[in-house]
Structure 1
Amino acid sequence: MVARGGAVLTFPVTLLDLAGCVALLLWGTHMVQSGVQSAFGPRLRTFLSGALKTRLHAFLAGLGVTAILQSSTATGLMVAGFAASGLVELAPALAVMLGANVGTTLVVQLLSFDISPLSPALILLGVMVYRRSNTQPPRDLGKVAIGLGLMLLALHQLIEFITPYEDAPNLRLLMGAVSTQPTVAVAVAAVLTWVAHSSVAVVLLAMSLAAKGVVSPEAAMALVIGANLGSALNPLLEASSASDPASRRVPFGNLLNRLVGVVVGLALLGPVSVALVELEPSVTRAVADYHTLFNLILAVVFLPLLKPFSALLCRLFPLKALPPDPARPLYLDAAALDTPVVALGNAAREALRLADILETMLSCTRDALDKDQGQRVAEAQKLDDVLDRLNAAIQAYLMRLDHETLGPEDRERFDEILAFATNLEHAGDVLDNSLLPLAAKRLKRGLAFSPEGKAEIATIIDRVIGNLHTAGALFMTNDARTARILAAEKAVFRDLETRATQNHFERMRGGVVESAETSSLQLDVVRDLKRINAHLVAGTAYPVLEREGELLPSRIAGELG
């Protein structure tokens, strides 16, 4: 037991206080990362996608983007998405990861100086900006300032907290194992980094422990090695759940160069730590310099070898020919959930698959209504199950996003994706529950539409398919002009239903039973197609028009009503 402030505290309380300081450090790191991602994420993604021309450019782009985001994981997810879609080759993608690993060291370099007195000012400034700003970018920058202030406060508290416990036998015993066994230090730091999802926080913790003499500089540098190893574990574990082994190339390549660094770093740890402490008397600065040096040397060694290294990874993780399952999500990467801008893009790409499936269902329905093709009804019914499963997967994926990290634009896109996917799924239900039974009824009873009726139904279905294409384009562009064009289709379909109703009544008055029966069936078909078209308008046009202030409670402003 150790006395502090007149009270007798046990070792478990010591660990609780230490855990609280570490938690504050982690939360500050999280605020910085989420604030920067929300403020600059889309622009950084665009910049990164255009900078992957050569290995050197890719390295510098990864360094710069990660220095801003302070998350090599976020940068890795972006470039992994580019590599998976074929937009970038594997070698530049790996170069980005080398740059990202160097980029994470820059904030450690900044915080290695004694700037803890700035903590209250940063927190105050951040709170003022966050509470007084009505627009999102300043509020995001306010979160960044608060996060930096909390990180500085946590580091200061760690040092203040450790001082009374320097001679605590239990703490000395725990840290003694770390100090005397570098491999233990590497393992401990790797596990902490894997749990915390932040190598920056673990490196800063190692600096604090070394500053108070709780661990030796050599042990602190071993902790740095472990933090670099742990930062490569989470992306690989996330990618291991993917069905295609090729998706593991980038994270495994990153882990492999980390492992090489661990082996060489441990072998040279003694002389390197002595040399750095001699060159830099400040232990915290020496640990920060070692962190940067570790990643710079790995980058210099691996950059010229990326081409053969990429070939090796391609042999280890070849593309896998998976059995076809149209209901399997292709783009819902769980690893991207920590980066909202990437995750929302993935969900949007998956939602567009719903439009393709719905188009195939409409084509099947057209064939079943026009020809004696009963198998097309069964085919469309199976596709409705696919539509339902994909929509459920998209919604579950979106619900796993951390809504606190979503800015206004992200929340708006979130709602647009949900509205689009939900309305397409409802349109599929109209097909499955109403239109397809009508087609089956026609086939079962041997009813035949007149040539004019067939042509009219085919024309209307083609018009719905055209509107579905327009809805897909509108979903990607959010163009107000396209939204007005699509919304005007509601009036067109009202006229089509009115004309079909009038034609049905005329046939009824003519007393031709067969003609009346088929015209009734045709009227039901037109009504269902009108309902499907209404879902397309509601899922894409109305959100855009509402944002533009052109959607009134009862109708669209202007002449579209």
Structure 2
Amino acid sequence: MESVNWLALIYGLVGGLGLFLYGMKMMSEGLQKSAGSSLRNILEKLTTNRVVGTFVGVVVTTIIQSSSATTVMVVGFVNAGLMNLVQALSIVLGANVGTTVTAQLIAFKIGKLALPAIGIGVFMRMFAGNKKYHYWGEVLIGFGLLFLGLQIMKEGFVPLRHSVLFREAFVSFSHNPILAVVAGAVLTMIVQSSSATIGITVALATTGLIDYYAACALVLGENIGTTITANLAAIGTNPTARRAAFGHFLINALGVCYMLVFLKYFTQAVDVMTPGDPNFINADGNQPYIARHIANLHTGFNIVNLFIFMPVLHILARICEKIIPDKGNGRDDALVFLDDCLIETPDFAVSQARKEVSRMSALSLEMLKLSRDAFFTRDQKVIEKVHELEDTVDLLEKDISTFLVRLNQEQISANTSRELNSLLHVLHDLEKIGDYAENIVNYTDKLIESGIRFTGEAMQEMEEIFEVAIRFTENVMAAYNAGGLPKEIDTEDENTIDKMRKRFKKNHLDRLQNGACSVETGILFVDILNNLEKAGDQAFNIAQVVMGEDS
């Protein structure tokens, strides 16, 4: 019996696994960058019933090669109230099937294409002028690294054939499939990638360290372990989103439980439908057919699961509601559409951030309207409401900006980067509009405290400039929130506000000279005029974003 070079084995396993995981990440990110927007739209719009939702889950996960990314998006949609729990669970069922494509790819004998794929991918990434080619270059690099890492892991496991201790440990998986399921689940939870643990399982099986039955049990456990990602993503979200994540675990765990009962018969069925003897060992000591059998069992299990659970998704949804009741989500921040988990899916995160900005725009506009009401009615309750909204707007601006800055540090496309910059500009402008509205109610407070009254002419002028400022801001925000940018927008009101401010300021000086108003009254009058003009300027900045003229 030969001794095992443990250092070389650890180097091979750690290095191979690292290459595999990085390759998987790069391939998934490249695919998301090249098709992320359209995939997000598919997820958002084509989930009207459970059958369509399942199909969408299969397609999207097959394309982006990441069930984790799909389930994180689903949790985000549920958290935002864009889909119900049954729709979310249908997508999860489909994602479980879509993610098995990775195992099918691994089972193909295309490892020799790894280095050419890396070479072509690097050339496309470095020298292609079109961004689309950059993204496809990343896909090819990731594809090559994935198979290169798998090959290194396979070679690293070969010396373990000569270790009696390890062979006996792995043999125990054949005699105790429950132990193998637990091992597969724990390993997947640690690595945070079911694709990686499938790769490890294939490497172990191909080198003859575990037999077909033990490998199948490990694969079942990996289906449970992969649900940890969605449940981690759901931490801090609303109860419905947490139910969607728990439903993912419930579907896979229940599926594994019934499959363990019939595992012997299911492996035999897969064996009959798949060419080659999974236990055949060639002259090199490898099992050349077992990878395809493992991949087919992985796919077959999730397809069977799909057909069993799709008709009873409403029952599963009720179970999830019983286990996770409505007791509030424990969040005291102002965000509704954003969670940290969305950082992993930049394109979807930008879409959700825009919804958050749209919500903030409504609050800023409401503040401007309330500042007018407070000025004319002198109602302290209205003034207090503006101060409350100012706190919310400030918190939103801070939290959304922090999220967008973090998102900007991820690997994102040029279009996504431009949209992030536009969002940050609009956020600043909205926050300033809120500030100017609060300034106006502060001046109104001074008017109330001092018992100061404007002349009838001054009140008429205020009514006119308030009307134009609010109308212009309302039109700009409506155009921005409608999407489909860039688009033309009428900005004549902004010039009107500027002209009004100058004319009304001159009229005020005339009244001051005639003794129709006091100096203190005049100062407050001009201060309110200036803040309305500045609010118009911020709205004009947003209009430039709408028209695609922002720098």
State the TM-score, normalized to the length of structure 2. Answer: 0.89
Deviation at 1:240, TM superposition (A): 3.5
Aligned-partner residue type, residue 507 of structure 1: R
Contact 1:189 1:226 in 2 (8 A): yes
Q: Following superposition of structure 1 onto structure 2, how do residues 424-435 of structure 1 map, counting pairs within 5 Å?
A: 424-432=430-438, 434-435=439-440
Partner of 2:497: 493
Q: Secondary structure at the match of 2:186?
A: helix
Give the equivalent residue in structure 2 for 1:380: 386
Closer, same or farther in 2 for the Cα pair 1:119/1:359, shift >3 Å? same
Structure 1 position 456 matched with structure 2 position 461: yes
Q: Residue type matched to 1:246 in 2?
A: T
Over 3 Å counting, the alpha-carbon distance change for 1:321 and 1:18 in structure 2 is: closer
Q: Contact conserved, 2:480 with 2:546, CA < 8 A, in 1? A: no
| RMSD across aligned positions (CA) | 2.7
What aligned pairs does 1:320-339 form with structure 2 within 5 A after superposition?
Answer: 328-339=334-345
2:312 aligned partner: 305
Q: Offset at 1:43?
A: 0.8
CA deviation string 1:226-261 (max 9, x = no partner)? 21111112212321422x312223222221111111
SS where residue 162 of structure 2 aligns? coil
> Residues 92 and 354 (structure 1 numbering): CA distance in 2 closer, same or farther, change over 3 Å?
closer
Aligned residue in 1 for 2:366 = 360
Structure 2 counterparts to residues 246-261 of structure 1, below 5 A: 246-261=240-255
Q: 1:153 deviation in Å?
A: 0.9
Moved more, 265-274 or 131-140: 265-274
Q: 2-side partners of 1:52 and 1:368: how far apart?
A: 45
SS state at 1:405 partner: coil
Matches within 5 A, 1:143-182: 143-168=138-163, 171-172=166-167, 175=170, 178=173, 181-182=176-177
Q: What's the CA shift for 1:392?
A: 1.5
* 2:509 equivalent among 484, 505, 509: 505
Distance 1:179 1:451, change over 3 A: farther
CA–CA distance in structure 1, aligned partners of residues 232 and 401 of structure 2: 23
| Cα drift, residue 215 of structure 1 | 2.0
For 1:555, the equivalent position in structure 2 comes to none
From the superposition, tell whether residues 358 and 228 of structure 1 become closer, same or farther in structure 2 (CA, over 3 Å). Answer: same
What letter matches 1:44 in structure 2?
A: L
Contact 2:16 2:152 in 1 (8 A): yes
Question: Which residue number in structure 1 is paired with residue 183 of structure 2?
Answer: 188
- Structure 1 contact 108–204 (Cα < 8 Å) conserved: yes
CA contact (8 A) 2:50 2:87 kept: yes
CA contact (8 A) 2:335 2:396 kept: yes
User: Aligned with 2:452: secondary structure?
Assistant: coil
CA distance in 2, matches of 1:358, 1:475: 14
- Map 1:111-510 to 2 at 5 A: 111-168=106-163, 171-172=166-167, 175=170, 178=173, 181-242=176-237, 244-273=238-267, 276-277=270-271, 279=274, 280-281=276-277, 282-319=289-326, 328-401=334-407, 403-432=409-438, 434-476=439-481, 477=483, 479-483=485-489, 485-486=490-491, 488-510=492-514
When structure 1 is superposed on structure 2, of 330-339 and 311-320 the one drifting more is 311-320
User: Closer, same or farther in 2 for the Cα pair 1:82/1:215, shift >3 Å?
Assistant: same
Amino acid at match of 2:267: S
Q: What's the counterpart of residue 32 of structure 1?
A: 27
- Residue-by-residue CA offset, 1:118-141 (whole Å, 9 max, x unaligned): 111111221122222223222111
**Residues 45-64 of structure 1: pairs in structure 2 closer than 5 A:** 45-64=40-59
Alignment pair present for 1:529 and 2:524: no
* 1:201/1:353 CA distance change after superposition, 3 Å: same
Residues 470 and 482 of structure 1 are in contact (CA less than 8 Å); yes or no, is this contact kept in structure 2? no
Tell me how far apart the structure 2 counterparts of residues 35 and 162 of structure 1 sit (CA, whole Å). Answer: 30
CA contact 1:420–1:475 (8 Å) conserved in 2: no
Equivalent residue in structure 2 for 1:75, among 70, 73, 78: 70
CA distance in structure 1 between the partners assigned to 2:353 and 2:259 by the alignment: 41
Q: Distance in 2 between matches of 1:197 and 1:268?
A: 28
**Structure 1: distance between partners of 2:484 and 2:469:** 20
For 2:196, give the aligned amino acid.
A
- 2:334 match: secondary structure: coil
Return closer, same or farther for 1:173/1:493 CA change in 2, 3 Å cut-off: farther
Task: Map Cα deviations across residues 13-38 of structure 1 (whole Å, 9 max, x no partner).
Answer: 53243112111101111011111111
Distance 1:189 1:393 in 2: 38
CA, structure 1 residues 88+357, in 2 after alignment: closer, same or farther (shift >3 Å)? closer
SS, match of residue 148 in structure 2 = helix
Report the 3-state secondary structure (helix = DSSP H, G, I; strand = E; otherwise coil) of the residue aligned with 1:166.
Answer: helix
CA 443–174 in structure 1, closer or farther in 2 if over 3 Å, else same? farther
Match for 2:245: what amino acid? P
Gaps of 5+ in 1: 553-561
Q: Distance in 2 between matches of 1:383 and 1:230?
A: 43
Whole-angstrom CA distance in 1 between matches of 2:18 and 2:321? 39
Q: Compute the displacement of 1:448 (Å).
A: 0.9
Q: 1:154 Cα deviation (Å)?
A: 1.0
CA–CA distance in 2 between the matches of 1:3 and 1:423? 69
Matched, 1:20 2:15: yes
Residues 117 and 371 of structure 1: CA distance in aligned 2, closer, same or farther (over 3 Å): same
CA contact 2:9–2:157 (8 Å) conserved in 1: no
Which structure carries more relative contact order (alpha carbon 8 Å, separation 6+)? 2
Change (3 A) 1:170 1:442: farther
Greater shift in the superposed pair: 526-535 or 187-196: 187-196
In 2, Cα distance between the equivalents of 1:2 and 1:423? 71
Instruction: Please report how far the alpha carbon of residue 473 of structure 1 lies from its aligned counterpart in structure 2 after TM superposition.
Output: 2.8
- SS of residue matched to 1:20: helix
- Letter paired with 1:155: L
Instruction: Flag the 1:452–1:133 CA change in 2: closer, same or farther, 3 A.
Output: farther
Q: Once the two structures are aligned, what percentage of the paired residues are identical?
A: 29
Q: Which of 534, 537, 544 is residue 542 of structure 1 equivalent to? A: 544
Q: How far did 1:480 drift?
A: 4.0
SS in 2 for 1:329: coil
Q: Distance in 1 between matches of 2:259 and 2:7?
A: 33
Q: CA deviation at 1:318?
A: 4.8
TM-score, scaled to structure 1: 0.88
Q: Tell me the CA shift for residue 207 of structure 1.
A: 0.7
Distance change >3 Å, CA 247–CA 354, structure 1 → 2? same
Number of equivalent positions: 537
Aligned residues of 1:333 and 1:346 also touching (Cα < 8 A): no
Which region of structure 1 is more displaced relative to structure 2, 396-405 or 130-139?
Answer: 396-405
Number of the residue aligned with 2:284: none
Shift of 1:323: 9.8
Is contact 1:28–1:148 with CA below 8 Å preserved after alignment? yes
